[in-house]
A and B are shown apart, each in its own frame.
Chain A
Amino acid sequence: MTPAIELSSINKQFGPVWANRDIDLKIMPGTIHGIVGENGAGKSTLMSILYGFYTADSGDIHVNGRKVTIRNSHHAIDLGIGMVHQHFMLVETFTVLENIMLGMEGGSLLFKARSRARKALEEITEKYGLNVDPDALVGELPVGLQQRVEILKALYRGAKVLILDEPTSVLTPQETGQLFEILRTLRSQGVTVLIITHKLKEIMAITDNVSVMRGGCMVAHRQTSETSTTELAELMVGRTVLLQVDKEVAVPGRTRLKVEGLSYTDERGVKRLKDVSFHVRAGEILGLAGVTGNGQSELMKVLAGSLPQDSGSFTLDTSNGVYTFNVNDYRDAAMMRDCSVGHVPENRLVQGVVKSFPASENAILGYQNKEEYGSPLLDPAKIVAATEEMMEAYDVRPRLPGLKTANFSGGNQQKLVLAREMMKEPELLLIGQPTRGVDIGAIEAIHRNLIDARDKGAAVLLVSVELDEIMSLSDRIIVMNDGMITGEVNAADTNEMELGLLMTSTNRKDDEAMATAVETPKAEAVA
């Protein structure tokens, strides 16, 4: 049987770095093929080559046995290759139908194209069982349905091979289940699916075959039924990996942070936090679970001092004393740091570092007013020495304090931020997505550091979209949806399904009307 896609000896270099080296890959038609690898292993580069964003330096691509040179994404689409990006490429103010026909209007008058597209869309939805209301505004659809629109877009363009880049990163466990159902249907209709992920459990659940990448090379091809998560993890990292975090039972002390009735409305008038109350005690890790964009970012910002709440308060009890921050109390991030609050922002590239600065300057960002970095002028020697210490402790590579931060990989930037915030031994640690973009090997160490901080008596508030991470690290878990805390569970007694339900539940009466409004399109789509 001819493979749907065959790559042989693909090479791609960025500067001195081999992003892809001598890659061979065969994908049989009508299968679901997984590609796993750590960040920086070269998965995205390989897919970009296949989708025509980059051209390979050397090597051949065969599509259905025919040798091709993919010049750009239009060409890839013509060859029947479609891509669903991790960050959706949708116009939120357009309807589903308009998004699907975007770029394929075929003529200057829209109404003809619209009726043509509507008809074609009906056929596709019927064939693959992908129900979406074509006249719904995309911005009003839940994320799972938006992703379905992306898939429809690719199918409408005649895709026979569908590439999905980290498709589950924004989905709840329930939505993930629905996505997998769709992928199975697509497979039964002869569509070839190529799925890129770093979640090994999902690979085991959905794929027929799996290929493992490491350091730009393809290190193994396996039939999914003949491999295991342990073997795949080892192949990805190149050594044995502890997937489970070892930790003692927490010994919580007094309450470090008490949040009472916190609300926040953003500048567009959207209520991001609705009467949020919880507490974190010294020596425990409180996990905050939820689908991205349900108020976690805002909550962290309020607690870190960079966003003022509308109402409610929070009380900090650290060795610096007890402070309650009400609505009108002035506070900024520097003040919170003085109160021994460490903050690892979820989006380090936007908030946590200045990319154009050398690593050493980012190593003191937020702590630049501390006297230990020189007085009255900043002392570069002292800053570099402190940076070297951080790089050593958190294995930041390369160990060049003078190198521009943008030239470090994302994982190493993250490690630098973690080192900066955690080596100050804060009494309250706010930490968002601690392992996003970090290698599996490094994840182990980061998790160890978090547990150590807890055991030394720090109160840790952990936000992560990785449920596995929340469940293995936390002692207690609170779940957020639509700006509300929808539940609290004991980490030891919960499971993904329970958390998933809490992540979509709206448990408060006054929001019932809204809840039905949100739920309706989803219910229709499932039916």
Chain B
Amino acid sequence: MNPVMAESPAWVRVALIPFLQLVLALAISSLVVLIIGEDPIHAFQVMIRGATNTDFGGISNTLYYATNFIFTGLAVAVAFHAGLFNIGGEGQVYVAGLAVALLCLALDSTLNAWFMAPLIIIGTALFGAIWGAVPGYLQARRGSHIVVTTIMFNYIAMAFMSYMLVEYISKLGGNSTDSRYWNAEAVIPKMHEISSSFPYSLLNPTILLALGVSAAVWVLIWRTRLGFAIRTVGSNPEAAKYAGIDAGRIIIITMAISGALAGMMAVNEVYAAQSRLILNFPNGAGFMGIAVALMGRNHPVGIVFAALLFGAMNQGGTELQFEIPSISPQVVLVIQALVVFFTGALDQLLRGPIENWFQRRAIARSQQAAAQG
């Protein structure tokens, strides 16, 4: 007996449930805000206004943060389709930052932005790909678990970057934690520099690259033969073998693609927005990609929306700290963590019961229809 399982409607799965998860997270966050003696309604108003206002660059900065999260979210999602949990986004971004620094320090006085930008994109993708492919190789050919190796590679990347930055790249030749600014001629302008109708913010055209890459990932996963192979390996390795797909090769390729996607975050952050290499520049965005991919259900469209949400929380949280000083950055972090917790880690808490309810209702209706018909 193979019972036909009715699925709950798509809008429930991709819209209603994430929304309710968010509401639940904010409800518990309200308690946190209440405990420290502030008005939660006011706090959320500040957050939302901070993230969405058009006068002071709120929405622009939300989009700028979202750009980072799109790249790291896609990186986690692509690996996930092959059944791999790439926790190494952070390290892959770090190493890609090095690519930006090397290219800019060497060439920013000779090349203008038109030549520099493509080089930077290729460089970040390449460095990220290499940093992703090595754990992929170790998994595929040596059986070292990808979760363990990618975590270790994060530490290697961080330590290596600190060393490189402080010893060779920093402007003062030691003790400084950032590089010199890149030559403005070699850097793509920010939105407010392109058009005065944009308020001052770090938002730059890299967001268009992020959206283009999202579309490309969709094509890769659902329209290419490589994507077919990736999904087969991720869903049923035995079937992949039966179909003549070399799972090891697919794992290495997937991790390279995943690393390249994460690496491209450095285009936004190191090349365009900050225009210099800063220690700890990924600032957890690589890890945040896991939550973004979870909430976006590993689909590029979902990831873009999830990235917007997390971008908004980053920006709104920053505003909150300014407006209500008693709400410290740590409290903002707690609020963000609660959202990650309810949308990611506790996904099934709401999803299970709600999907069951819709399923039962659909069944009851079909029975009613059958009885009447």
Instruction: Please report A residues at the B interface, Cβ cutoff 8 Å.
Output: 13-17, 19, 40, 42, 44-45, 304-306, 332-337, 343, 345, 350-357, 361, 365-366, 368-369, 376-378, 380, 406-410
Contacts and interface: CB of A to CB of B under 8 A. Distances in A.
Given A16-B4, A19-B1, A357-B235, A377 B242 contact: no
Contacts of B219: 377
Contacts of B242: 304, 306, 333, 343, 345, 351-352, 365-366
B328 interface: no
Contact of B363 (A16, A353, A377): A16
Contacts of A306: 241-242, 244
A378 B236 CA distance: 20
27 contacts: A14-B4, A15-B3, A15-B359, A15-B363, A16-B4, A16-B366, A19-B1, A40-B1, A44-B1, A45-B1, A306-B244, A332-B246, A335-B244, A345-B242, A350-B238, A351-B239, A351-B241, A354-B231, A355-B236, A365-B232, A365-B242, A366-B242, A377-B224, A378-B223, A378-B224, A406-B5, A409-B2
A22 B228 CA distance: 45
B142 interface: no
A305 B241 CA distance: 9
B6 interface: yes
A361 B225 CA distance: 11
Nearest to B369: A16
B229 interface: yes
Most chain B beta-carbon neighbours within 10 Å: one of A15, A19, A336, A343? A15
Given A334-B243, A334-B244, A335-B244, A16 B223 contact: no
A357 B6 CA distance: 16
B220 to A, nearest CB: 10
Contacts of B366: 16
A495 B3 CA distance: 39
B149 to A, nearest CB: 23
Nearest to A373: B225
Given A40-B1, A333-B242, A369-B225, 9 more contacts: A13-B363, A15-B5, A16-B6, A17-B1, A306-B244, A337-B244, A354-B232, A357-B231, A365-B243
Interface residues of B, number: 29
Interface string B203-245: 0000000000000000100011100110110011011011111
Contacts of A336: 244
Contacts of A366: 242-244
A337 B242 CA distance: 10
Which 9 A-B pairs rank lowest in CB-CB distance, beginning with the nearest? A334-B244, A14-B3, A333-B244, A366-B243, A409-B2, A377-B223, A351-B242, A354-B236, A354-B235
A369 B367 CA distance: 43
Contacts of A343: 242
A369 B363 CA distance: 40
B79 to A, nearest CB: 17
A361 to B, nearest CB: 7
Contact of A368 (B6, B225, B238, B241): B225
Given A16-B363, A352-B239, A408 B2 contact: yes
Interface string B75-113: 000000000000000000000000000000000000000
A293 B364 CA distance: 45
